[in-house]
Structure 1
């Protein structure tokens, strides 16, 4: 029978894994530090098989719980909506990534901004007596009433849009005609000349967390790294020189071999498979090889820098005696970015220098490219935005000294589970359907605390099904079975056995008709429960996209 904690302050907790737990008399409400990377691929962290030096995240994984089945949404804003609400993104206003054209009929739930039918994570923790702090990417609405300081954060330094250049480049945003807005507690910020996103956000968090106080803190480090454009400080760029000259085919298989050794990928002698349109490294000219390798060097430099800044946060907590009582959660918001954006005219018009020698520096504007993104997604198929595992199966680490036994879990968890987890750690609960005189949705996520603290083998019931839909791409997982609709691959749903070496490369719909019918019934239930717009074939409807 499933056991659940009624409060973090209950009696001393006996655990199946023999973790030494603090007693009720010694317990304090823990601080919570949530670290969200932007477009970090599953295998980019060393602990997940990557070659990039990430000692700080690796140390958290070694001393904490490393998830192998953690899911977000397949893109930035929908994931953040789920994180903040504990609900599916279609219910809370972010059924799609970007607003639809104003002349098209708006479907409720698809406004592309977080609605007010929820109590947000910081609002609930603030109400429970936590000091709430944020630094980084918001991407959930730019109107004053939807900004972080109006949605529960006591202190916030936020970029409102999808991202920005990582250095101080006032003349541009990340998309044509698309500026970026930095606000501190709702007021415009003048960026310093030596600005670099990841360092700037870390400085703010360190200064705002300070020495600690009577109130526990909830700190949300919403980094924009390693989101494109790939840019990093020179010292981090230089450290990566030559590391990717062997090419993406070789690096991908090296990662896959390490993952097999670590038990993170099915045992097989098959090499890494890539999506259709993959250009084998050996077919590239020497010039294209050099340019491609340089782009991955810049991406790797961003990941190494991100790890360095996470290390600075951890060092601050240790130096101020706050580390042992801080629950740390690290994850990515979705899979690696694989869109080939090329070099549109507007970049050239802004006088960017995308020469080989300048890739990754302040006045360059480059993305990593689809092949390297698939390296980041190893061992999964595809990348961000899609319904394949490479879209939303992400690295995730939970760390809490003396409370979480070091190890690895293959229990399925989702970003919706973070809100109820943090509430349980805070010794409070969700208010249900009413919060501060407004009607809200009850949450659908489950607390991970019993599992992390060794009281339960799972997080969700064995028969639980998990669904996702975004911009036509749709999927549903139950156990090792997965249903997926990927428009670029097929005009019908496909069925995959994730436990097999073939994974998402072999459609099993025809050979397993009973399982296919069961999964389609579950998909229909997910659609009805979460405001997902579909056509009469139960496929995502495209009329309003």
Structure 2
């Protein structure tokens, strides 16, 4: 007995080590599925959990079950945010500070790896459902930028029923046009659910569910519109219906995760690509006289389509960013601070996450969650917030810099937000104490202004990929309308490649 005890005493630590190793092997790290759900032009006050009159029960539940990101920042328009998501680089470094029109000769720089590129190295299957908006020519196609499968539209927005953008039918699967009837949000939801159910169950899934809603044009099923008959403003009423359809789509995807037994090991990140488009109501005096006179002269020719494109973007927005100032295309809070939620059951701490975090931080954070923190990546401007989201340690607010396509810039540091406008005007806010940007402190704190202006000037900036306005005017990016040109999937093979 004494000998047996002695042997056990000597070998116990070794045996325990073997047991722990075996236990670790049996419970090896399982990479989570990663699903990003991106709304398009969703306003701060367009979700129920922010007190909106719009009913969003599925998003409200996601916010309750996960962590609401109360200070989540993006760029002020679509293409820049999507580019930053893919690369972790700020818009100025990328040279993408404005929406990329269909005639843009370039897109997301091909020399850069993307988030799905990195995840594929970790054996993820990758899918994009919905909007791309980072280049329509072949080298920039999603299937060449890390996505195994792509279903949706290349352009910035299509008609919800006709699937037309700028005269082109723009609805495809992996580079081939697909002719389908149906409301865009419904089709996107159906495909996202299909991707989940048809996945390779032996490998983790990365899905970017890039919804078109509630971006213009204002179109929704009549029953959804009728549900908001109490909203007097027609544009707001249709916008609310579009948001409700988006919420239903989110609910369908989350239900599919439950049905497939995936929810517990799926990291879901909900966001909007920028702030909501509001009704500016700021067209110059005499604008409509000019518009009507132009229609009399040219009918439905190119100049009129461009004027109408400008008008709809200026006047047809139905979003609400209250209590934040500004809207889409602005570096005010209403343009860049958006609804955000993360959920990963058993992995994230409970309660709201009140530290500033941005789209730039998503790439390093998601790679860390996927077990790829040590993966060699290209220079990026983000920070890994996984430990903070887990509640393991606190991190200071993320630095963030952005530029609108009108030249206005904003840079965040600690509690400060400095704005340098295109006309040289300088504004400074203590954004933690003054999120509605009511008190300009630039004259009171010239030291902070000088420091942040110097940092802005020192940032690396690539040549801007923006297309001159006169070129866009000759072939505007209309949302919906008459199909008068070849489908965009085939058009990029023919006409655009000759430019």
**Quick one: which of 225, 234, 240 aligns to 1:237?**
225
Is 1:87 aligned with 2:75? no
How far off is 1:387 after superposition?
1.5
Match of 1:449 among 386, 411, 415: 386
CA distance in 1, matches of 2:338, 2:74: 7
Question: Counterparts in 2 of 1:96-495, with a 5 A limit?
Answer: 96-98=98-100, 113-167=107-161, 169=162, 172-173=164-165, 177-192=166-181, 195-210=182-197, 212=199, 213-242=201-230, 244-245=231-232, 293-338=233-278, 369=315, 372-373=318-319, 376-429=320-373, 431-432=375-376, 441-458=378-395, 461=396, 465-471=399-405, 472-487=407-422, 491-495=424-428
Q: Is the 8 A contact 2:196 2:256 kept in 1?
A: no
- Contact 1:230–1:368 (CA under 8 A) maintained in structure 2: no
Residue 488 of structure 2 corresponds to residue 499 of structure 1: no
Runs of 4+ that moved beyond 6 A? 99-102, 341-350, 365-368
**Contact in 1 for aligned 2:120/2:126 (Cα 8 Å):** yes
1:61 is matched with which residue? 63
Unaligned runs of 5+ in 2: 1-19, 301-310, 473-499
Give the match's secondary structure for 2:160: coil
Paired residues of 1:138 and 1:148 also in contact (CA < 8 A): yes
User: Hey, what's the Cα distance between the residues in 1 that align with 2:264 and 2:257?
Assistant: 8
How far the C-alpha of 1:395 sits from its partner, in A, is 0.8
Alpha-carbon deviation of 1:340?
5.3
Please report how far the alpha carbon of residue 80 of structure 1 lies from its aligned counterpart in structure 2 after TM superposition.
Answer: 0.3
* SS of structure 1 residue aligned to 2:168: coil
Partner of 1:105: none
Distance 1:83 1:158 in 2: 18
Structure 1 pair 368/307, CA: closer, same or farther in 2 (3 Å)?
Answer: farther
Please identify which structure carries the higher helix content.
2
What do the CA deviations read for 1:212-264 (whole angstroms, capped 9, x no partner)?
5010100110001000111111221111101x23xxxxxxxxxxxxxxxxxxx
Shift of 1:180: 4.6
Q: What do residues 36-65 of structure 1 show as CA deviations (whole Å, max 9, x unaligned)?
A: 000001121111221211111111111111
CA distance in 2: counterparts of 1:453 and 1:347, whole angstroms: 58
Q: Distance in 1 between matches of 2:41 and 2:327?
A: 9
SS at the partner of 1:451?
Answer: helix
Q: 1:386 touches 1:486 (CA, 8 Å); kept in 2?
A: no
Matched positions, count: 423
* Corresponding residue for residue 494 of structure 2: none
In 2, Cα distance between the equivalents of 1:296 and 1:235?
Answer: 15
How far 1:443 moved relative to its partner?
2.1
CA distance in 1, matches of 2:25, 2:37: 28
Taking structure 1 as reference, are residues 338 and 241 closer, same or farther at Cα in structure 2, changes over 3 Å only? same
| Distance in 2 (alpha carbons) for counterparts of 1:477 and 1:27 | 36
* CA apart distance, 1:209: 1.8
Distance 1:483 1:55, change over 3 A: same
The alpha-carbon deviation at position 326 of structure 1 amounts to: 0.8
Q: Is the 8 A contact 1:70 1:413 kept in 2?
A: yes
Matches of 2:140 and 2:295 in 1, distance apart?
31
Paired residues of 2:95 and 2:463 also in contact (CA < 8 A)? no
CA contact (8 A) 2:277 2:317 kept: no
Deviations 1:175-207 (A, max 9, x none): xx4535222111111122xx1111101111111
Partner of 1:29: 31
Conservation of the 8 A alpha-carbon contact between 1:335 and 1:394: yes
Distance in 1 between the 2:102 and 2:129 partners? Answer: 28
Q: Pick the structure with greater CA Rg.
A: 2
Distance 1:313 1:164, change over 3 A: same
- 2:12 maps to none
Q: Report 1:504-523 matches (<5 A).
A: 504-523=437-456
CA shift, 1:524, in A, is 2.3
Q: What are the residue-to-residue correspondences of 1:37-56 with 2, within 5 Å?
A: 37-56=39-58
- Checking the alignment, whether the CA contact within 8 Å between 1:331 and 1:396 is kept in structure 2 is yes
Per-residue deviation at 1:382? Answer: 0.8
When the two chains are superposed, the root-mean-square deviation of aligned CA atoms in Å is 3.1
Q: Name stretches of at least 5 consecutive residues in structure 1 with no aligned partner.
A: 1-11, 13-21, 103-110, 246-292, 351-364, 434-440, 534-541
Distance in structure 2 (CA, Å) of the matches to 1:99 and 1:309? 27
Partner Cα distance (1:297, 1:474) in 2: 33
Q: Is the 8 A contact 1:63 1:405 kept in 2?
A: no
| Cα 1:221/1:183, change in 2 over 3 Å | same
Alpha carbons 1:483, 1:494 under 8 Å: kept: yes
Query: What is the DSSP-based 3-state SS (H/G/I as helix, E as strand, rest coil) of the residue aligned with 1:409?
Result: coil
Q: Secondary structure, in 3 states, of the residue corresponding to 1:394?
A: coil
Aligned-partner Cα distance in 1 for 2:258–2:455: 46
**1:5 is matched with which residue?**
none
CA spacing shift, 1:431–1:371, aligned 2, 3 Å: closer
Name the SS for the 2:98 alignment partner.
coil
TM-score norm. by structure 2 comes to: 0.78
